Amino acid sequence: MVNYNLEELLTKVSTQAGFCESLVSYEGQPLRLEDYQRTAVNDFNKFAIWAKSRRVGWSFAGASLKAFARAMLWRKPYKAIIISKDIREANDKIEYIRGFWNSLPEEWQRG
């Protein structure tokens, strides 16, 4: 986790991607998103269609991280429906989200 003063932290966590990059780690390292991943995580459209290539981190950022950030930041209960092509892919997304949760500082974990 990166250390920020309170004002910097509040500014940074005001977006879904900023929240994740400030407080979430992945494989023991601070999370750093590519620009296209940041755009996907911050997208507020109810439905989205994206042209993408394979193996670009879409399941990681565009589905799992976005759902995690919304669930953490929205004041009302949030339910994400993420469709996967098979059970292995579905389990991968669940494991990403579980890892995001476990990487949060304890005082940010709620529920």
Q: In 10 A of CB 36, how many CB atoms?
A: 15
Report DSSP state, residue 68.
H
pLDDT score of 2: 58
pLDDT score of 46: 77
What is the C-alpha to C-alpha distance for residues 82 and 105, in angstroms, rounded to an integer?
26
Q: What is the mean pLDDT of residues 69-91?
A: 86
pLDDT score of 87: 92
Q: Using one digit for the tens of pLDDT, what is the confidence trace for 5-20?
A: 788 777 877 899 998 9
Q: Using one digit for the tens of pLDDT, what is the confidence trace for 38-73?
A: 988 998 887 777 777 777 777 788 888 988 998 888
Q: What is the mean pLDDT of residues 81-108?
A: 89
pLDDT score of 110: 65
What is the C-alpha to C-alpha distance for residues 107 and 51, in angstroms, rounded to an integer?
37
Instruction: Note the pTM of the prediction, 2 decimals.
Output: 0.78
What is the C-alpha to C-alpha distance for residues 14 and 27, in angstroms, rounded to an integer?
24
